[in-house]
Structure 1
Amino acid sequence: MSYNIHQQVFVLSNASNLLSACKGTQADLQGKMDAALQPTITNAKIGDWSVVWGPKVWKFNPGNANSGPDRVWYIARNPSANFGDGTYDTYVLAVAGTADSSFENIVIDAYVDKVVDFYGWVQAGITTTPEQATTVDQAKPYIAYGTATGISTLLTVASPAGQTIIEFLATIPATSRLVFTGHSLGGALSPSVALALLKAGLLKNATGNVFAYPTAGPSPGNGSFSALFAQNFPLISGGPAAYQMWNGNLTNTYDIVPHAWGIDSLNAIPTLYGKLPFIPGLAVRAIVNSAIDKAKSSGLGYVSLQGQTFSTTAPPTPKTLKAFLQTALQEHISAYGSLLGTPSIPSLCKPTSSTEQARGLPILGGIYQAHLEAKEMERLEKEGE
């Protein structure tokens, strides 16, 4: 079976998440990724793709063996990828989403209330450490501080071979095509890093040869940032299916993660799967209200990046927090693979539970914690009987 370019890029994106359920030191996880990435891509039979930079596994605490990777990214190349309008020498930068046991990514999620002046950061030098803005002018583009710290890691941490992506991208032909992709957190970081590199003058490829293909990403910044992205990466619809586009965030209408961090979209979450029973409904509403407070305290109005949506069959209304999480994870992960019809890329490690993947995700992380607390209360009540 042959896969079109969007399907190929999506599989490459998924391959960045091979370690999503794994724990280990940075060195252990790097070894796992080094051994598995190229064979995984080859076995998917999506075309002549080879890993040319990385993969890089990065952890804020590299010696901690009891947590997952905080960032995983790599670049693959196909010397003759078919885009429909011709074949091109193509490079794809794939950025992983949140690993189940990543502490640093939970911190990134928590840094929605702090923001960074995007232009100020670019002008100071995009490889400098991002600094929190003390005032906010809504007419200027801002991104969440968590997003900025994620971008900073991607730009400044070198591959095991000692080369940053900035240094590598400077070596590729200007006529080559370049695609930035990622799912979930990777769906916020990949278009943002593309725009950061472009505005910093670090991409020598012609603008028409640089594309973003984020999926299921939360909004990285305010309306001015979203407008700046749209101006520099115009939305291109490339076919009849919703996923056949460039420079837009592909989102499932039943996926909770892309509802972060706009106020109206956050408010839609408690009834997204119908009217919840009283106790789960209270818990979800409380967590959503906390997220809204966090988004408001940033001083920004978060606005989603442009994109296209699709809808699965409406899921049945969950009766428990566990069922809510299972439904949400299905809509956030499996639904996209089903839409694109691509081969699945399972994690190298087995998740400890059917809900653990929710742990570090926006909104769902809070619901996951509430679910664990409810389970613990049930256990204590049974012991007390």
Structure 2
Amino acid sequence: MSFYPSRDQQARYAIAMIANLGQRYAGSSAVQNTLGDIKGALRSMQDKIGTWSVVWGPALYFSDPSGNPDNIMYVAQQEGTNNYVIGIAGTNFANAFDFVYEDLGVTGTTPWMLLGAPAGAAISDGTYLGLANLLNTPASAGTPQAGVKIMDFLAAESKKGALNLAVAGHSLGGALAPTLALYIKNVSLLWDASRKSTVLTMPVAGPTPGNKVFADYLNTTVTVDGFYNDRDVVPHVWSASDLSELATIYGETDLIGGFIAGIAAGIATLATKDFNYTPTERTELKGSVLLGKLYFDQAGFQHLYAYDLFFFDNQIQPALHPPSTESQSVQIPSTLADAVKNAGGTIPSYIEVVPPRPQKEVTVGKKTFKVPASADAEQIRQAVMATAPHFGDALGL
């Protein structure tokens, strides 16, 4: 089934992805660099998403003031309308805080005890931590509404009239966005002076934020317009049924990568079995496995660039994926470039197309797999035995 996003959906996706632009900066210059990048990206995409301006933030939360920001959030308003989008950044792999404490903080849950919530509703401890950071971090110094927290900003804006508010995020932001949207909806009596504001959330590629009671409650309380690529590993966590698909999500072209993912998924299933994590409402987008790519290379593409192709007519958007530093180019393998071109898309000039990493075929049992050219038979045997000994025994390794 083809996907034909509306202009509003394109705008929400872009605004969410633009929140990630500040993740590469550290220290005292991070705020102004982030604000400048956000403004520049919104301008560069006007022909695709309309005219939007930053009206609050960004708010940058730092667990280490000298390091990179752990959470980033800002608000954009569409020119001449009462349409507002809160954009929430995903995981910042420039530091360990997001990954260890927010992404992997799923071995315990925190009850959702706001007005109207059913008994038993709960979110992961990691999601709770991220939500607390977003609610308690004011717009950073030198940005629009500096020193003002998000709920106070919404209260002031609603006095001008009803807001059409969307909360959007990708990856970690895709778990935090619906959670923040539900919080905003639950406490609407405290901020919505008009009593007519609407709240929608568009989580993209997000992991599961909470249990089934929470998901059901959120789906019936807030308008949820979520999306996920069925070939993306991230939205397959932390629901047990989704985790079970990870070992074979890209077929059997990468023996080692698939088994590593399968073992990791098994460990995650055991660690979260008592919490009944359930995804919030979302639309499945049918991704395509790229031939010639190993598991973890494939996973990176499916989690990032693939969504550009879904939302923007098979075209990667340069404004959403700049180099991590000004002097560093973004590299993609020629197999990916060929796939984009075959789909009718274009490769931005700043992206360097490089030959794929050398691979070779190796036969294990009755099956033939592609593995890195540098891997010898003993390394393959050891990897299989270390990650899946029973499979290794069955094949006589």
In the superposition, the TM-score normalised over structure 2's length comes to: 0.73
Cα deviation, residue 211, structure 1: 0.9
Residue 151 of structure 2 is matched in structure 1 by 166
Structure 1 unaligned regions, length at least 5 = 81-87, 124-137, 235-246, 356-373
- Equivalent position to 1:112, from 106, 109, 112: 106
Cα deviation, residue 248, structure 1: 2.8
SS in 1 for 2:76: strand
Greater Cα radius of gyration, structure 1 or 2: 2
C-alpha distance in 1, partners of 2:59/2:136? Answer: 12
Cα deviation, residue 192, structure 1: 0.4
Asked if the contact 2:17/2:170 (under 8 Å) is kept, the reply is yes
Asked if the contact 2:127/2:176 (under 8 Å) is kept, the reply is yes
Residue 19 of structure 1 is matched in structure 2 by 22
Q: 1:309 to 1:170 in 2, by over 3 A?
A: same
Asked if the contact 1:248/1:305 (under 8 Å) is kept, the reply is no
**Structure 1 residues 59-98: aligned runs within 5 Å:** 59-64=62-67, 68-80=68-80, 88-98=81-91
Q: Does 1:47 align with 2:50?
A: yes
C-alpha distance in 1, partners of 2:252/2:235? Answer: 20
Cα deviation, residue 207, structure 1: 6.6
Task: State the aligned residue count.
Answer: 314
One-letter amino acid of the counterpart of residue 270, structure 1: A
C-alpha distance in 1, partners of 2:246/2:292? Answer: 13
One-letter amino acid of the counterpart of residue 324, structure 1: Y
One-letter amino acid of the counterpart of residue 34, structure 1: L
Identical aligned residues as a percent: 25
SS in 2 for 1:290: helix
Q: Does 1:182 align with 2:159?
A: no
Alignment deviations for residues 244-291 of structure 1 (CA, whole Å, 9 cap, x no partner): xxx132011101100000111101100011125543333222211221
- Equivalent position to 1:290, from 232, 243, 267: 267
Residue 309 of structure 1 is matched in structure 2 by 284
C-alpha distance in 2, partners of 1:157/1:375? Answer: 48
C-alpha distance in 1, partners of 2:307/2:147? Answer: 34
C-alpha distance in 2, partners of 1:265/1:42? Answer: 38
C-alpha distance in 2, partners of 1:354/1:221? Answer: 35
Q: Does 1:347 align with 2:348?
A: no
C-alpha distance in 2, partners of 1:285/1:219? Answer: 18
Q: 1:193 to 1:170 in 2, by over 3 A?
A: same
- Equivalent position to 1:150, from 122, 126, 130: 130
C-alpha distance in 2, partners of 1:301/1:353? Answer: 39
C-alpha distance in 1, partners of 2:254/2:36? Answer: 46
Q: CA RMSD in A?
A: 2.8
Structure 2 unaligned regions, length at least 5 = 1-5, 141-145, 333-371, 380-397
Asked if the contact 1:326/1:354 (under 8 Å) is kept, the reply is no
Determine which structure has greater relative contact order: mean sequence separation of CA pairs < 8 Å that are 6+ residues apart, divided by chain length: 1
Which shows bigger deviation, 41-50 or 205-214?
205-214
